[in-house]
Structure 1
Amino acid sequence: MPSTPSAPHVGARRRAACLAELAHGTERFHGPRREDCPWCGSRDLRTRFTASDPLQGRPGTFTVDRCETCAHVFQNPRLTPEGMAFHFRYAQPGPARVRRTRRRLRATARVMLPYGEPEGWLDVGTGNADFPAAARAFFPYTAFDGLDPSPRVLKAAEAERLDEAYVGRLTTPAVTGRLRARYDVVSLLHQLHRSPDPRADLHAALGLLRPGGRILIELPDPTSLFAPFLGRWWLPHTQPRHLHLIPPANLRAELERHGCRILRTDRLHAPYDLSVATTLLLAHLLPCPDAPWRPLPPTEAQRALRAALSAATAPLTVAAAAADHALAPLLRHTGFSNTYRVIAQAPYRPRT
């Protein structure tokens, strides 16, 4: 359940390194602003909001735009590779990361049962391989491999949660070149919205499928009514990490453009909207005083005051979480559903 974070202790060396980087300014962390939509090319853009990092108060402000033609939502201007490296290097643990429970992971795996037992399955962005570990209950004879940019994937293989592990990204030629046309299933669960170029990642993922293989994708739905209602406090809008939010119609059209056949589209609802929005708002009002980008560490009095205020506001997040779970069965069938799933089948023959 989300709650406001306790203040972590930041080492002096880490603080000094961060402040040294910030001394050169943050302008280099942002590329030029786009005047057209990165998905459809339309110039009919509207700003949804401009805000700082709502959870950790990282330096800089971030703008999220929406294309009025295709409904694609994206960070504009986008972080440069240098900016992304900075923000991930100094990210602090936070409560707004919604963990997918084993039950939800098993439910995702279960939808693949009608398509038979695959021989090989690659889970992209697998991390600790929680999804392959849950999916083995339904596909015990499938070889599950994992791809992730962090070395966690290697530890997952050592723990026998994966058959093979690869460190890298979908667009890393040295990695994915070895895996071309190798898998019956490729899963991208909540991955494309974090990619600087989701279309390139999608194309690369399709290249890893055998003819007739299937791709399983889950993403937050930017057409959810929670998006304009909660604005900057809606979890998928959280900056600076979420770069693109792709509407279901856009994703289906892109898959069909590559010759894929849409097998299934589901509207889903993860119970996080109100609780995470409450957490983000409280974290904004009660910012963590000990972060590597703050020149001075907090005093003991400041720590004690923040802990007391966090405890006093905890019932708000508890009530919001209870409301999320109570409303979830109803919202799944309305415009407030916040997630969608697409299963598509790659063509048996390359398109000519």
Structure 2
Amino acid sequence: MQLKPGVFRLDRCRQCGHVFQNPRLSAEGLQYYYRDFYDGMNFSKMQKGMRRKRATYRRRASALLPFTTTPVAWLDVGAAHGHFCKTARNVFPGTLFHGLDASASLAEAVVQGHVDRAFQMELPALLNSPLRATGYDVISMFHVLEHVTDPRTYLECAMELLKPGGLMVIEVPNPACPMARLLGRYWLPWLQPQHLHLAPRHNIVRLLGELGWDVLLADEGAAHDPIDVTAAVALFANQHLPVAPAPWHVAEPTRSGQLLRRAGWLVALPLLLVGHVVDKAIVGPLLRMSGQGNAIRIIARSPRRAIS
């Protein structure tokens, strides 16, 4: 998306359907590609995008209503700028929201009042931290597990941090979505090189069962984000038009190239609008009804007593 240098390969296990980046980036490599994506040069743009997703955040929070009405404390893993927590307060007004993220932008979420407490670290580090809370009623991980090198460890950590009988809600991309095959490399949820793992629903459910979770909901329709066609048009245009100025480009973009890029986006604008209508009116409803959306939502309950 930023047109930083690099080519990335995804392999799919023929037996179970798990999709994984191969070879996988090192921690230093990941840091290079994360840099200026959520923070730095892209901070303002990312803030605007997250503010526009209030309806999505409200649906995510409301998905817990059939299972709990009064969570005392909620930990949002991958909280970024805290916009989900800000919106979720309207659904659960009496809940304390804590945010966890490796990004420095989380500090601003505390200043803005989006979260009550912030942990700038990875989830496994919280287990051994003196800042660790006594236990959470809910832990959310919205589009987090696909980013981490070891999703199993994150699920184990969540169980340790939850109160007995506490709830976990996760959302991850659905690699079995028909749009993934149709759009190929221009399907946004591939999001290379950030997404290291894309697991089908049955793999996640099986793993949760092995770890002792009680799976209450596993759905591939309700969490669908109607953006596939629009994003594919944008990704295609972004890749094929002259690059915008950025410090990671070897050659300085020319003035004629920048004029051509602006003209190209003007040409692409009607296609983006058509894509938006198609996503909202046709593709989105069809995928939700068929249960083949671009995201998987799973709600699970931790054991009410310790597993021996």
Cα distance change of structure 1 residues 98 and 336 upon mapping to structure 2, 3 Å threshold: farther
Name the structure 1 match of 2:211.
258
Q: Name the CA distance, whole Å, in 2 between partners of 1:127 and 1:173.
A: 16
Name the structure 1 match of 2:86.
133
SS at match of 1:216: strand
Name the structure 2 match of 1:246.
199
Aligned residues: CA RMSD: 2.2
Asked whether 1:152 is paired with 2:105, we answer: yes
TM-score, normalization by structure 2: 0.90
Q: Deviations over 1:4-55 (max 9, x none)?
A: xxxxxxxxxxxxxxxxxxxxxxxxxxxxxxxxxxxxxxxxxxxxxxxxxxx3
Name the structure 1 match of 2:56.
104
Name the structure 1 match of 2:252.
297
More helix by share: 2
- Runs (5+) with no aligned partner, structure 1: 1-54
Q: Name the CA distance, whole Å, in 1 between partners of 2:274 and 2:16.
A: 36
Q: Name the CA distance, whole Å, in 2 between partners of 1:271 and 1:173.
A: 34
Please tell me whether Structure 1 or Structure 2 has the larger radius of gyration of its CA atoms. Answer: 1
Asked if the contact 1:181–1:211 (Cα under 8 Å) also holds between the matched residues in 2, the reply is no
Q: Name the CA distance, whole Å, in 1 between partners of 2:78 and 2:93.
A: 21
Count of matched residue positions in the alignment of Structure 1 and Structure 2: 298
Asked if the contact 2:172–2:296 (Cα under 8 Å) also holds between the matched residues in 1, the reply is yes
Q: Name the CA distance, whole Å, in 1 between partners of 2:233 and 2:129.
A: 40
Asked if the contact 2:242–2:258 (Cα under 8 Å) also holds between the matched residues in 1, the reply is no
Higher relative contact order (CA 8 A, sep 6+): 1
Asked if the contact 1:180–1:209 (Cα under 8 Å) also holds between the matched residues in 2, the reply is no
Q: Name the CA distance, whole Å, in 1 between partners of 2:195 and 2:114.
A: 28
TM-score, normalization by structure 1: 0.79
SS at match of 1:61: coil
Name the structure 2 match of 1:171.
124
Name the structure 2 match of 1:29.
none
AA of the residue aligned to 1:333 = M
1:183 is aligned, of 136, 141, 152, to: 136
Q: Name the CA distance, whole Å, in 1 between partners of 2:12 and 2:134.
A: 35
SS at match of 1:284: helix
Q: Name the CA distance, whole Å, in 1 between partners of 2:17 and 2:94.
A: 41
- Runs (5+) with no aligned partner, structure 2: none
Bigger drift between 114-123 and 262-271 goes to: 262-271
Bigger drift between 68-77 and 172-181 goes to: 172-181
Asked whether 1:217 is paired with 2:153, we answer: no
AA of the residue aligned to 2:30 = M
Asked if the contact 2:101–2:119 (Cα under 8 Å) also holds between the matched residues in 1, the reply is yes
Name the structure 2 match of 1:346.
302
Cα distance change of structure 1 residues 304 and 175 upon mapping to structure 2, 3 Å threshold: farther
What displacement does 1:295 show? 2.5
Bigger drift between 240-249 and 81-90 goes to: 81-90
Cα distance change of structure 1 residues 168 and 120 upon mapping to structure 2, 3 Å threshold: same
